[in-house]
């Protein structure tokens, strides 16, 4: 693989072009990572508006019709609804794992089986997230397992 | 496709467990000899149970964290065909206290055998995902 980087003061924004013959799983994963890098999500904490890079988000959760973004050690409120995030984050490492949760699969360290065909995901910050049985096939597909 | 796989898994595992258990009881002289008709009846009832479990998997409103309510409902959907079809229609067991208790215990053993084997399958699936996670992390993607 050849990697060209052109750095110039004339460039207004970062532009990434990928030329490939076949889009294999590793390349698709790289594209997902790039898409993740280009997105950020507006959040709030203690009446302060912030922009959170998506790669820092471990998961989004909806509680009492409010959306929360969880990072390694912090929680932010997010103005976007879960279904809006799901649409925006399509084809990234984020995936719906239950009715109330969208998980960043890049932050999953391991999974364990539970009764009722469900999975429990252990995240990098040692937090555990439940993957509902209806979402297990899509979760497996994220890792190229059909 | 996943539900078709679930149907065949439940059907095959429960049919095998039930037939083997009945054959063992037959060897011990505790039940009438196992015959072709009984085997076909077992397969029919097992298929109905498997279909009910798949429907439950599709339409279950259960959201309990531990899954115990769902398991109770699954077991109820095992008991219903066994008692209604096996007990009332095919007369597999006498409908007295002893017969009902034996049938209940056999259902319990078969249900846990199916759950146990499905857990082995889910563990294998989890191991496959964990391997994919490790590969992804090793490759830095």
DSSP B47-58: HHHHHHHHHHHH
Per-residue confidence in pLDDT tens, chain B, 141 aa: 667 877 888 889 889 988 888 888 888 887 888 889 999 999 999 999 989 888 887 776 655 555 677 788 889 988 999 999 988 999 888 888 988 998 899 899 888 888 888 888 888 989 999 999 998 888 765
B96 three-state secondary structure: coil
Query: At B102, which helix (H) or strand (E)?
Result: helix B97-139
Spell out which chain B residues touch chain A, with contact meaning CB-CB distance below 8 angstroms: 2, 57, 63, 65-67, 70-71, 115, 118-119, 122-123, 125-126, 128-130, 132-133, 136, 139, 141
Q: What ipTM score was computed for the predicted complex, to two decimals?
A: 0.75
DSSP-assigned beta bridge partners for residue B141: none
Contact call for B67 and A115, based on CB within 8 A:
yes
pLDDT number for residue A22: 86
Distance from CA of B27 to the nearest CA of A (A): 34
Q: Is the pTM of this model over 0.90?
A: no
CB within 8 Å: A111 and B70: no
| Contact check, Cβ <8 Å, B129/A140 | yes
């Amino acid at each position: 693989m050849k990697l060209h980087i052109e750095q110039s003061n004339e460039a207004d924004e970062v532009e990434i072009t990928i030329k490939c013959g076949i889009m294999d799983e590793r390349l698709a994963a790289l594209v997902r990572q790039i898409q993740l890098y280009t997105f950020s999500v507006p959040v709030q904490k203690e009446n302060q508006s912030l922009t959170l890079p998506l790669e820092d988000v471990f998961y989004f959760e909806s509680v009492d019709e409010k959306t929360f973004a969880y990072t390694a050690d912090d929680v932010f409120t997010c103005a976007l609804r879960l279904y809006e995030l799901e649409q925006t984050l399509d084809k990234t490492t984020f995936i719906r794992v239950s009715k109330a949760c969208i998980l960043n699969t890049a932050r999953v360290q391991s999974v364990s089986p539970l009764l009722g065909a469900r999975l429990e995901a252990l995240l990098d910050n040692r937090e555990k997230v439940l993957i509902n049985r209806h979402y297990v096939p899509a979760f497996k597909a994220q890792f190229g397992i059909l | 496709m996943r539900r078709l796989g679930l149907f065949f898994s439940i059907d095959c595992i429960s049919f095998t467990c039930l037939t083997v258990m009945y054959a063992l009881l037959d060897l011990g002289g505790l039940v009438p000899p196992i015959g072709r008709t009984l085997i076909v009846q077992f397969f029919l009832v097992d298929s109905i149970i498997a279909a009910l479990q798949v429907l439950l998997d599709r339409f279950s409103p259960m959201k309990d964290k531990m899954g115990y309510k769902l398991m109770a409902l699954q077991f109820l959907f095992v008991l219903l065909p066994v008692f209604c079809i096996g007990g009332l229609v095919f007369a597999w067991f006498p409908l007295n206290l002893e017969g009902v208790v034996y049938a209940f215990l056999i259902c319990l053993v078969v249900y846990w055998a199916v759950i146990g084997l499905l857990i082995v399958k889910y563990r294998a699936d989890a191991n496959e995902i964990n391997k994919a996670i490790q590969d992804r992390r090793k490759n830095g993607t």
